[in-house]
Structure 1
Amino acid sequence: MNENQRRLAPDWWLFVIILLLLMFGIVMVYDSSYCIALAYDDYNNDPFYFARKQLTYGLMGLGGLLICSRIPYWWWKRLAVPGLLISIALLLIVWRSGHSSLGARRWIGFGPIVIQPSELAKLAVVLFLSWVLTQKRALIQTGRGVFWLSVAVGIPIVLTERQPDLGTAATIFVIYLIMLTAAGVQRKHLAILLGVSALLAVGTLYLPSKSHPDEPNYRMRRMLTFIHPEADKEKDGYQVWRGLVALGSGGTSGVGLGNSHEKRPGGLPAQRTDFIFAVVGEEFGLLGTSLVLLGFFGLACRGLSIALRTKDPFGRFLATGLTVMVSGQALINMAVVTACAPTTGIPLPLISYGGSSLIPTLCGLGILLGISCRPFFQENQGKKSPLKERHSERFFRKAGIK
């Protein structure tokens, strides 16, 4: 077997981190939801209602992780363009006739199966960008190339933001920005992209919100509430304020597992989903939240290490994008809960309740584990000319990848 075909063991450190975060998440979903499940007949007064479903989602996700880790990662190139087109089609269906909950329209139902296309769109964007940045290297060094690539990626971002789902839209934009930076796109093009994006982001503050169509200034008011949540603790600032109260109540070591007050009915909203990090902070204190942060930091380090070790450009970009997809979303969620970013509906990967987020996340991490098994693979090895080899090396030196 030559070096190009060598298959190594997967990155076990990464797998252990994933497993620990997943198990901790199942425990926290039970802990943060059993009071709600007992209080309402909709959940059959079953304290294990949410935990049982989360365990099922976790097992399905682990199955997807194992399958995806066994598939040679270069096979995913075939889904780069079709995957993006399918995700855009699903987002359009959501925009027109999706399921609504709490003022947001983010889901599509197929009988008993309900999916959130924006979660699939994140994976599709990572695959598409990895393919484009590998196959169209010269094009992305031009302003025209960056413009059309921004249009292609901007469509799912805009459709996701309109649901409204600002958190996932921001995650996709962060993925795009970091992958462009890793590809060595010219700084002036990045500066223009950031400037235009900032103007568009400010413009969205003045657009009407689907969740509050009768309040034209709702988005701007939410932004002002984020800056001073204590000024409107009973209305727009209620959720972020209760999250801060939960975090503050935990102190250094927390009040203990199961003793959170804010998770009870009438307390912190979305305690098992978007704001589960606040429950972690209340029950385990600064030590617990620091360990969770350390877990995602370790995941990011292992993912970027895999990207650095991988010789194939597509594998490098794919590993980078998948790592940013999970760790970037975790960082945005923690920033929201700690009032460092405006409140958006975005789950904490591997920990928050919900199969629409958990299963695609585990499948993406399975692809990352698969990349770690094939670090020496290089497509068309032996057919590259020395000129192409030198071009490839310059390309990754610009990206800061050695």
Structure 2
Amino acid sequence: MTTHRFPLRPLLASAVAMLAFAGCERKNDQHQMPPQSVGVLTLRTQPVVIHTSLPGRTDAFEIAQVRPQVTGVIEKRLFKEGSDVTVGQQLYQIDASRYQAAYDTARGQLAEAEAGEVTARAKLERYRSLVKEHAVSKQEYDDAVAAEKQAQGQILSAKGQVESAQVNLGYTKMYAPISGRISRTLVTVGALVTANQTDNTAIITRLDPIYVDVNLPAITLLRLKRELAEGRIERQPDGEVPVTLTLEDGSGYEHKGHMALSEVNVDTSTASVIVRAIMPNPDKLLLPGMYVHAELEEGTDPNSLLVPQEAVTHNTHGDAEVWVVKPDDTVERRQIQTGAAFGTNWLVTSGLKAGERIVVVGLQKVTPGAKVKPQEISATATPDAPASQNKGQ
């Protein structure tokens, strides 16, 4: 039987060469694939109104604790619980009989002192002429002068007693010190109240206007001051910061207020500053202690960059990223910083600049360094949409 032997090494070399050639053809085919079409947006600056939304609590504009200034029994209650009262309106009547008697006694003592002063003055006038004629001694004349001055002092003392008695008599009528809504009464007719007691008889709260206190993070306050100094944010024409409210049930409050003041010290436990706003409350809808969201209108940023939210992705660390199309139509992944949300857009605070193109449609088609076929899409930025910058941003 004849056996044919073929050379094995040349055959293996030929096979390897054919496989390498086929791989090169496939690689060349990949390089020759047309660029992927993606929708891009060219960034342009635009003015937007910057808002900051912060949680807060309402607080009364004025609170008056009604307490008695004299001791006595309550004879009358002259208001309706839970009603609105005006400053100077009588609220309670305390038994005034003892204070009326003290006032009458003081007036009688004043009249007696005035009568004594008349006698002393007449005596002094007589002695003044007699002492010149040596009809009375100098000592008697000096005694008459002293008696007249003593009578004048007694008048002043009596007048003080009358005024004190009159004040106490007036305190038997308890009046409203401020205008506002009065609480339920804490004493009833017939109850004994005492002067300078620590317990209130009622509380009056002024509800219109009303305060709203919010905690502004110190880092946000620094950012605002820096942006104002750099001219990135323009102040309101009147210099005030408008404030709008969202109530706890999610509804908007129809009246707009303004920021009144901010504390000068930072709370070390919360790293925040208390900001107080004044809100009109004509319908008495807001009550002290209510939880609200206050939206502070900080100003206008004339050179803002807004990017659609669908163009922003996040890496494993939670950092915001976008795909940027470079001038040669290749793409790169870039990390950015975002701020407030404006409708369906994010406000970009760093990482991008005007004129750059970002991928909005076709994000799943791109890889770092890949060449793409960009197709411009219309901008969807809505600068008039309300911002909802959350606490701490």
Which structure shows the higher helix fraction?
1
Same fold (TM over 0.5): no
Which TM class, normalised by the smaller chain length?
under 0.3
TM-score, with normalisation over the residues of structure 1?
0.19
Structure with bigger strand share is: 2
**Pair member with larger Rg:** 2
